[in-house]
Amino acid sequence: MPSTMVLRFRDLVAKTIEQHGRLIQEHGFVWWGWWNKPEERVPRTTFQSFTKSIQSQGQLSAFLADSGNRLLFGTAIKEIKFPDAEGFIDCPDPEKTPTYYSKNQYKAWFKLISIEQIPIDEIRKWTYDEVQEFLDDPTAESFQDKRVFNLAEMLERRHRTIYFVRPFREGDRDVEVRLIPAIGPSILVGDERKLQMVPPVALKDFITTPIIRDTNYVVHLSDLHFSDTHHGFGVSLDDPNRTLVQYLRDDIHEIGGGKPPAAVLITGDFTWTGQKSEFDRARSFIQDLQSVTGLEDQHFVVVPGNHDICWATQNSDEFDPSAKVNRPKKDAEENYRKFISDSLQFAPNSDLSMGRRYLLGNYVSLDIVGLNSCTLERRGFAGLGYVGYDQLKRAATAMDWRPLASKTKYRFLALHHHLIPVSSREEISTYDHRYSLTIDSGQIVYVALELQVDLIAHGHMHQPFSSDISRTANEPTFPAGRSLCIHCAGSAGVGRADLGAIGRNSYSVYEFDDAGITLTVRSIGEAADRFQKSWSCRFDISPQGGLRLVSKP
C-alpha cells in the first residue's frame, strides 16, 4: 500500500499555487479539486488508507508536481472527500476554494493546510507503488518497486494526474525508465543503470503501424496565428482573456463525452511572422492541449503555413507578403523545423511532410498525410501555394499508397493552401494583388484521385468551406466518376480583424463511420463564451469510389 501521493497539475486556467496559497494564508486551509482523466477511477481503498493515516497522525504529507514548469511542492493534506461509488461530488466549501473552479464537481477533494516549494531532488527519496484500482496502466510493472529516478521521469510517464509512492528502501530498483510513445506493443531493454521501454516503431515522419485509438473523431485546427498582435485569445494566465486551450478543453470534453479525439490535424499558420517567440507559444499550445486531453505526440499531424516559412525577412510585428525574398531554404525553414523537433519529438524530413495511420474505436482505419504547400521561394511566388509532384509521390510511397491497391478505409491529404476557390468572390484591386490558390492544384487533385484519396483538408482562407470534385481524362488511371471531398477549416486562433466572412473563430470535427464522414464546424458564439455547432454536412462513400458531398450546410 502506498504511503502518499504526488498530485500532478499544470497552470492552464490560473496561477494554481498562488491562488491556493493565498486562501491558506486567509483561512488556514484550501480545497484542492482532483482534475482526473476520463480513464482514471477513484482509488477508494488507497484513499481510505490515507484517511486512516490522517486520523492517526493529524495530516498526510504529500507532493504537488507542476508539469509545466517542472517544479515540486510539498503539501499537507488534512482531509480527503470522495464518493462512495464512482461519480462526482460538489466542492465541500466553495468560499475556501479558488473561484475559477469552486462550483465544479470532481471525483475527490483534498483539504490542504500548507504548500511550499521544495528541491526537486526530494523526489529521489521515494519509490513508485502502483495502484491498480486507480488506472489500467500497461507500463505499471516497469515502475513498481522502482525508485523515482527524477522528476522528469515521473512527469514523462503516460499522462496521469496522480502518482502513488512510498519511501525508498534498500532493494528497490534504482534505474531510469523512459517511455517512448508506443505505436505497438513495447519491449524492455536495459543495462545495470538504465531501463527503457522501446516500441517497435519510434516517432518519425511517417508511421504506418496503426496507432490504436478508442474514439471515432478527429479535430481539425488551422491558422492559429500566435503573436502579440494578431492572435485572438489570451496567451498566458496573466492575460484577462481566456486562452484557446481553455476554450478547446471545454468544447472537446462536451463533443467527445469526456474522451479525446483520435487525432488533431493542424493545417499551418501557427505564427504571424515566423519568429521564434511565436513558435514558442505554438509549442506551449500543443503541450497544453496534450495535457488537458491526454493526447501524445503521435496523435498530431501538422503542416506549415505561408506565415511559418520565412522566405523574406519580416522586420516588425506585421507580415509583409510582398517583402523581398532574401533567405535560403535552410534559414527560411529553421524556426519551423525546430518547432516540430521540440513539439512532436522527431526530425522533420526535407519536404516537411508527415503521415500517420490510425485505427479508430469503431475499427475504421484512417491515413492522414500532411504536405508542405509553402515550397516556392522565388521572388513573386513566396507565399503562394505549391506542393510539387515529387513531394506528393514521396509521401504516397512512404505510406504505401498504391493506385487500386488495398487501402485503409479513408485516406486524407492535408496542406495549408486552398485547391479550389473558397470565397464567393475575390476583388481585383491592383495589378500585383497576391492570389494564393495552390498553383499545382489541378495536378494534386488528379494524382489524389489516382491514389484513392477521399478527402483533402486545408486552411489559409480563414473561412470554413466544403465541396467535392471529380475529374475525367483521356487515359484514366482511376474509375470514371470517382470523387473526393475538399474541406477548408476556418481560423481557430486569429484576431477578429483578420477573420474571414464567417466573422468568428472556428474549427472542424470529422466523425467517421463505415458509410462516410460527418463534418461539423464549431465556432465561437455571439456571447464569445464558448464554441458551439455552426453547421454540418455529410460526406458519403460514392458508388463510383471516393467520397461525395451529399448534404450541404
Of 535, 503, 537, the residue nearest 522 (C-alpha) = 535
- Residue 390 makes CB contacts below 8 A (sequence gap 6+) with none
What is the pLDDT, as a whole number, of residue 178? Answer: 73
CA-to-CA distance for 310 and 331, rounded, in angstroms?
Answer: 8
- pLDDT band, residue 380 (cuts 50/70/90): low
- pLDDT band, residue 201 (cuts 50/70/90): low
Residue 194 has pLDDT above 80, yes or no: no
Judge contact between 304 and 334, C-beta under 8 A.
no
What's the whole-number mean pLDDT along residues 92-113?
Answer: 95
- pLDDT band, residue 378 (cuts 50/70/90): low
- Residue 191 makes CB contacts below 8 A (sequence gap 6+) with none
CA-to-CA distance for 167 and 106, rounded, in angstroms?
Answer: 29
In this predicted model, which residue has the larger pLDDT, 477 or 161?
161
Judge contact between 337 and 345, C-beta under 8 A.
no
**Range in 56-60, 138-142, 458-462, 504-508 the model is least confident about:** 138-142
What's the whole-number mean pLDDT along residues 127-150?
Answer: 93
Q: What are the grid coordinates assigned to 132, written together?
A: 491498480
Q: What are the grid coordinates assigned to 544, written together?
A: 463510383
Q: Which residue do the cell numbers 519511501 mark?
A: 167
Residue 405 has pLDDT above 70, yes or no: no
Query: Given CA atoms 85, 88, 94, 96 in this order, what sign does their dihedral have?
Result: positive
Residue 172 has pLDDT above 70, yes or no: yes
Q: What are the grid coordinates assigned to 309, written together?
A: 516559412
What is the pLDDT, as a whole number, of residue 379? Answer: 55
DSSP 215-274: --EEEEE----BSSSSB-SB-STTSSSPBHHHHHHHHHHHHTTTPPPSEEEEES--BSS-
What's the whole-number mean pLDDT along residues 18-38?
Answer: 94
What residues are paired with 213 via a beta bridge?
none
CA-to-CA distance for 399 and 355, rounded, in angstroms?
Answer: 7
What's the whole-number mean pLDDT along residues 358-363?
Answer: 92
DSSP 84-140: SSSS-B--S-GGGS-TTTTT--BS-EEEEEEEEEE-GGGGGGEEE---TTT---TTH
Domains, in order of start, for the chain: 4-171 (no CATH), 206-551 (3.60.21.10)
Q: pLDDT of 488-522, one tens digit each?
A: 999 999 998 888 778 899 999 999 999 999 999 99
Residue 324 has pLDDT above 60, yes or no: yes
- pLDDT band, residue 181 (cuts 50/70/90): low
Judge contact between 518 and 538, C-beta under 8 A.
yes
Residue 134 CA from chain centroid, whole number: 25
Residue 164 has pLDDT above 60, yes or no: yes
Rg value, the chain, Cα: 25
What is the pLDDT, as a whole number, of residue 157? Answer: 80
Q: How far is CA 177 from CA 65, 97, 165, 224, in A?
A: 18, 36, 16, 35
- Residue 221 makes CB contacts below 8 A (sequence gap 6+) with 264, 265, 266, 267, 489, 492, 493, 507
Residue 200 has pLDDT above 60, yes or no: no
What is the pLDDT, as a whole number, of residue 432? Answer: 44
Helix (H) or strand (E) segment spanning residue 65: strand 60-66
What is the pLDDT, as a whole number, of residue 233? Answer: 94
| Three state DSSP letters for 467-489 | EEEECCCCCCCCCCCCEEEEEEC
What's the whole-number mean pLDDT along residues 278-291?
Answer: 94
- Residue 419 makes CB contacts below 8 A (sequence gap 6+) with 437, 438, 441, 444, 445, 456, 458, 486
Of 172, 177, 164, 114, the residue nearest 135 (C-alpha) = 164
CA-to-CA distance for 17 and 9, rounded, in angstroms?
Answer: 10
What residues are paired with 358 via a beta bridge?
211, 366
CB count, 10 Å around CB of 324? Answer: 11
CB count, 10 Å around CB of 541? Answer: 18
The model carries a pTM of 0.78
Q: Which amino acid type is present at position 235?
A: V
Distance between start and end Cα atoms, the chain = 56
Largest CA distance in the chain: 86
Query: Given CA atoms 115, 117, 119, 121 in this order, what sign does their dihedral have?
Result: positive
**Range in 138-142, 389-393, 404-408 the model is least confident about:** 404-408
Residue 62 has pLDDT above 70, yes or no: yes
What is the pLDDT, as a whole number, of residue 198? Answer: 44
In this predicted model, which residue has the larger pLDDT, 236 or 74?
74
Residue 413 CA from chain centroid, whole number: 18
- Residue 278 makes CB contacts below 8 A (sequence gap 6+) with 226, 227, 270, 271, 272
What is the pLDDT, as a whole number, of residue 436? Answer: 62
Q: What percent of the chain is modeled with pLDDT above 90? A: 66
User: Mean pLDDT in the chain?
Assistant: 88
CA-to-CA distance for 52 and 400, rounded, in angstroms?
Answer: 59
Residue 166 has pLDDT above 90, yes or no: yes
What is the pLDDT, as a whole number, of residue 323? Answer: 67
CA-to-CA distance for 542 and 516, rounded, in angstroms?
Answer: 9
Judge contact between 512 and 364, C-beta under 8 A.
yes
Q: pLDDT of 438-489, one tens digit each?
A: 888 889 999 999 999 999 999 999 999 999 999 876 666 777 889 999 999 9
Judge contact between 226 and 281, C-beta under 8 A.
yes
